[in-house]
Chains A and B, each alone.
Chain A
Amino acid sequence: MGLTMRISSAKRAAAALSAMALVGSLSACGGDDGKSSDSSKPLEVWSRSAPDPAKTYEAILAAFTQKTGIKVDYQGVIEFDTQLQARASSKDLPDVWINDAGLLGSYQSQGYVTKVEKGDIAGSDQITDETWAQNQGLDGATYGVPFSRQSFATVVRSDWRKKLGLPVPKTWDELAALANAFATKDPDGNGKADTYGMVVPGSSKRGYIGWWASSYIWQAGGDIVEKSGDTKYKSVINSPQTKTALEWVRKQFCTPGNVVPGSLNLTTSDTPFFGEGTAGIYLTGPYTFSGYDKAPGKDKYEVIPMPKGPVGTTTLAEGENIYFGAGSDKTAEQKALAEFLISPDAQKIGMAPDGAAQPVVRLPVNKTLDAGAVRNDPRWKLVQDEYTANSKAFVWSINFQPIRQALGEGINKMMSSCSSDLDAGLKSLDQAINAELKSQDLAE
C-alpha cells in the first residue's frame, strides 16, 4: 500500500509539473503583449528589401550603431506588407520601418505610425519644405521622415538601337516604333525571333500595372484621383485623356512583340527580360541601374528622357519614408535613427556611389547632396532633373493602396482583350475608385 501511495504521489507531482509547463509555455506565447518595453532590447528596424539592398541598409545601420552606440536589430523583409500586418495584428510593430512613401495614408489611417514633430528632428532643415509637405497626413500632421525620393526612368538597349539605326525615341510613336523594331528586326543578331520591345510588370497583384501605366496616363493629360473641396477626393479616371493613354498602351499589348508576351501575369520580380537580354525597353525605377550595369552591361543600355505623350512627359515620382511604429516606447532611439538616416553621411552610404551595392537612397532628401555629383553619373543627374521638373506622385495622404489595387485590376482587365470596350472599362474603374473613396469617408 505504502509503495502504491508513493508512486501515485510521484505521478501526481509529475502531472502537476507537466500541466504547469503546458500553461507556462502557453502564457509565454500569449503573455508578451508586444510592447518593446525592455530597454536592453535593440531597436527593431525593417525595410522592404531583397537581400542585395538589405546589405546597403546593413552598412548604414552599422555606421549608426558605431556613432551612437544604439544597437539595431535589422531585417530586410521581402513580403513586407503581409509581414507588417501580421506584426500589427499581434500589436507588436517594429520600432522603425522604411517603406514606400505612398503608404503614408494607409499607415496613418490604420494607426500604425506615430506623428513626427519636424522641429524636434535635428537636421530637418536640410530637407526642403516641399519634401516635408509630402509627408503630411489628412489631419495635417506629419507622419514619417523622408528618406529617399525618385522618379521613374526609361531604360533602352542602346546597342540594339544603334545597330538598327534608330534615333533615341522622343515621342510615343517613336517609342512604339522602337519597340516594334526590337521585336521584329532581330537586334541581337542571333537569327531567331526571340527578342521583344517593352518589359511591363502587367499583373494586377499589388496594382503593378497601374503603377507602370500611371506615367502614360499623366503624359496624355489624364489623372486618377483629384481633390474636391478641402478634405474630399473624387475619381477622375474616366476621361478622354486616360482613354487615349490606355488605347496607346493597349496597342502595344496587342501588337505582337511590342510587349513581352504573357506580361499581364507578371510582377516586377518576375520580369528579368531586360537583364537577360530578351527585351529592350523598360520604364522602371533607377534602383535597377546597378543590376543592369552588370547585365546586360553598362555600355549596352542608356537612360533616356521620357518620350513625350500627347500632353507632356510627366513621370511617376515615388519615395521611401522612415516610419515610427506605434506602440514602441523607444521614441528617443527612433528619433536618433531618423536624424542619422537623413544626415549627409548616411544618405551617401545609402546612395552606394561606388556602384558596387544597390542604392537604397535613390535621390537624397538632404538638400546639401546632389545625386549626379555624388555618384558622378549623368544618368542619375537625368533622374534628378526629371524628378524636379516633371514628376507627379500618387496621393500619399489618403489610403491609396486599395485605389492602386483597383487601378491595377481595372487596367489589367482592359489590356487582356484587344477588342473590349474601353469606355465601359473606364466607367467601372471609375465606380470602383469612387466606392473605395466612399468607404474611406473621402467621397463628396
Chain B
Amino acid sequence: MTSPINTLWERAGQAVKPRPAGHAVKPRSGAAAARRPPAVLRGSSWLPWMFLAPALLFAAVFKFIPMVEGIRMSLYKVQPFLGNEWVGLQNYATVLTDQRFLDALGHTLVLGVGQTVGALVVGFGLALLLEGQARSLWVLRTAVFLPVVTAVAVIGEVWRILYFPTDAGFVNQILATFGLGPFSFLSSPDSALGSVMAVGIWSGAPYDMVIILAGLAGIDRTLYEAAAVDGVNRRQRLRHIVLPGLRPALTVVLTLAAIRGLRIFTEVYVLTGGGPAGSTEVWMTRVYSLGFERNDLGVASAASMLLLFVTALLTIAVRLITRRREA
C-alpha cells in the first residue's frame, strides 16, 4: 500500500525522468533546414525583444541617445547656431582645474557622506522602532514615509519657510522653547551646508528605513530565539545577529544613497541656490549654472560626464566589494 505522499514523490520523479528516445525532436530534412528563418526571427527568440521594444525605445530616446550626445558635446565648444568647435579634452581640463568646481566637489562629498551616514543611522533607528505587525505601526510607518513621496521641490520650499532665520521662524520657535537660538540656518555660510544636510537626512531616512525593515523581516526568527536561550543582551543581539543579517540590505542602502548624494541638486537649488557665498554649491548646481546661466554647455557636459564616470566607478566598486564578501 502506498501513502498519498509516496504517490506524489513518484509523480515528481516521473516528471524529471528523461524522455524516451522516440519522443526526441526529429532532425529536420536538409531542405527544411535551409528554409529556416534567420536566428533572430526564429521561434520565441525574438518574442522577448518585442515585449522589450517599448521600454528599449524609451530608454534609447530619453537615456542612451542623450548620453551619447552628452559625451559628444563635452568635446566641443557648443554653439548650435554658429557651428560647434572641436576642443578635445579642454572642457575636462577646465572643469578639473576650476577652483569653484573643486569647492563644489568638496561640498558634494561632505553632503553625500553626511546624508548617507545620517540617513542610515536615523533610518536604522526608525526601522528598529517601527518593526512589527500591529496596525498602529503600519499607520506610523506610512506617516514616517511621507517625506519620500513628497516632491523634493516642495520639501525645499517648505523647509525654507521652516528655517526662517529669526525668532519668528518655525524651527527657531521650537528651539527657543529649549532656550536655544535663534540660528541663522541657511542664511549664514557657516551653517547653510549643515542645514541642507539635515533636510536631506529628514527626507532620506524613511527610504532607508523601508529597505532595512525588509532586511529585518528576512532575519531568521529562530536566531533570536536561540540567542534568547543563550541569554544574550540586547546589544549583543544587535551586534551579532541583526547587523550581519542586514548586510545585503545595508549594501543596497549605501549604494543608492551614495549615488543619490553625488547627484544632489533639487534640494540645494530650491533651498539656497548654491549660496550664500557659494557655501552650498554642489557639483550639479555648478553644472546647472554653467550650462544654463552661463550658456557653456560644453563644459557643463564635461562635468556631467565626470560625474557619470565617478558614479559608475563607485557602483562597480561597491558591487565588487560586496560580491567578494558574499562569496
Contact = CB atoms under 8 A, between A and B. Distances in A.
Interface string A139-181: 0000000000000000000000000000000000000000000
Contacts of A22: 53, 57
A429 to B, nearest CB: 12
B271 interface: yes
Nearest to A420: B277
A81 B293 contact: yes
Contacts of B37: 8, 11-12
B292 A204 contact: no
A190 to B, nearest CB: 12
Contacts of A332: none
Given A26-B61, A401-B295, A409-B278, A88 B80 contact: yes
A126 interface: no
A15 B187 CA distance: 60
Nearest to B60: A26
A89 B188 CA distance: 37
A265 interface: yes
A40 interface: no
Nearest to A86: B292
A111 B79 contact: yes
Given A85-B297, A326-B81, A265 B187 contact: yes
B53 to A, nearest CB: 6
Nearest to B297: A89
B269 to A, nearest CB: 8
Interface in B153-191: 160, 163-168, 184-189
Contact of A262 (B42, B164, B277): B164
A272 to B, nearest CB: 11
B32 interface: yes
Interface in B111-125: none
B276 interface: yes
B158 to A, nearest CB: 13
A264 B275 contact: yes
A436 to B, nearest CB: 9
B50 interface: yes
Contacts, number: 121
A261 B273 contact: no
Contact of B167 (A15, A91, A111, A193): A193
Contacts of B278: 204, 409, 412-413
Contacts of B276: 202, 264-265, 412-413, 415-416
Interface residues of B, number: 46
A267 B79 CA distance: 28
Contacts of B78: 89
Interface centre among B187, B189, B274 (most CB of A within 10 A): B187
Given A203-B275, A205-B274, A110 B79 contact: yes
B82 interface: yes
A186 interface: no
Contacts of A192: 168
A261 B275 contact: no
Contact of A204 (B79, B80, B273): B273
Interface string B90-124: 00000000000000000000000000000000000
Contacts of B315: none
Interface in A405-444: 405, 409, 412-413, 415-417
Interface string B53-84: 10001001100000000000000001111100
A417 B189 contact: yes
Contacts of B311: none
A1 interface: yes
B255 interface: no
B277 A412 contact: yes
A31 B42 CA distance: 32
Contacts of B292: 81-82, 85
B272 interface: yes
Given A8-B37, A18-B50, A22-B53, A412 B275 contact: yes
Contact of B277 (A106, A401, A413): A413
A363 to B, nearest CB: 27
A402 interface: yes
Given A85-B297, A401-B295, A264 B187 contact: yes
A88 B81 contact: yes
B187 A262 contact: yes
A25 interface: yes
A405 B289 contact: yes
Interface in A55-94: 81-82, 85, 88-91
B86 interface: no
B294 interface: yes
Contacts of A413: 276-278
Contacts of A261: 164-166, 184, 187
A318 B81 CA distance: 26
B309 interface: no
Nearest to B296: A402
Interface in A1-19: 1, 5, 8, 11-12, 15, 18
Interface string A193-215: 11000000011111000000000
Interface string A379-419: 00000000000000000000001100100010011011100
Nearest to B291: A85
B285 to A, nearest CB: 9
A205 B168 contact: no
A413 B32 CA distance: 79
A112 B81 contact: yes
B46 interface: yes
A327 interface: yes
A25 B57 contact: yes
A206 B285 CA distance: 12
A52 to B, nearest CB: 20
Interface centre among B42, B46, B186, B275 (most CB of A within 10 A): B275
Contacts of A130: none
Contacts of B184: 261-262
A416 B184 CA distance: 11
A85 B295 contact: yes
The 3 closest A-B pairs by CB, nearest first: A111-B81, A416-B277, A264-B276
Given A15-B41, A81-B292, A82-B292, 14 more contacts: A1-B32, A22-B57, A29-B61, A85-B291, A85-B297, A89-B297, A110-B79, A111-B80, A204-B275, A262-B185, A264-B187, A267-B273, A327-B81, A402-B293
Interface of B: 32, 35, 37, 41-42, 46, 50, 53, 57, 60-61, 78-82, 160, 163-168, 184-189, 192, 271-279, 289, 291-295, 297
Interface of A: 1, 5, 8, 11-12, 15, 18, 22, 25-26, 29, 81-82, 85, 88-91, 106, 110-112, 192-194, 202-206, 261-265, 267, 270, 326-327, 401-402, 405, 409, 412-413, 415-417
